[in-house]
Amino acid sequence: EVQLVESGGGVVRPGGSLRLSCAASGFTFDDYAMSWVRQVPGKGLEWVSNINWNGSKTGYADSVKGRFTISRDTAKDSLYLQMNSLRAEDTAFYHCARGESWGIPSYFDHWGQGILVTVSS
């Protein structure tokens, strides 16, 4: 069974940093591209970033470009999101999601439950 479990969320002050992790199991991690998608409470889903199967290609939403960095560790079957210079508008539930293949995702076939990040003074 495919499982994606996020961790590392919490409360951080504006301008601060946080690193999210996503532990993957139940599939061959380096066969798939991975992404982060967030949801502001009460609002819709917003794509944040993606990374291809071997980490050689990454993409970011304009709203986080230059502040967030996505990475992956095949040895640990884990996906990461380093978030710097956090803003109040980054407050959201962050979901880890698996792309349907190794490259640019056309859709996300498995998702994690999400982890809450709150940016507040």
Q: Given the rule CB under 8 A, which residues bind other proteins?
A: 4, 35, 37, 41, 43-47, 50, 59-62, 95, 97, 100, 104-114
The CA distance from 70 to 41, in Å, is 22
Between 16 and 105, CB nearer to other proteins: 105
Q: Closest approach of Cβ 82 to other proteins, in Å?
A: 18
Q: Closest approach of Cβ 93 to other proteins, in Å?
A: 8
The CA distance from 81 to 119, in Å, is 16
Q: Closest approach of Cβ 115 to other proteins, in Å?
A: 11
Pair 19, 42: CB distance under 8 Å? no
Among 33, 37, 97, 91, CA closest to 61: 37
- Angstrom CA distances, 69 to 43, 47, 99, stand at 24, 14, 18
Between 86 and 97, CB nearer to other proteins: 97
Q: Closest approach of Cβ 7 to other proteins, in Å?
A: 15
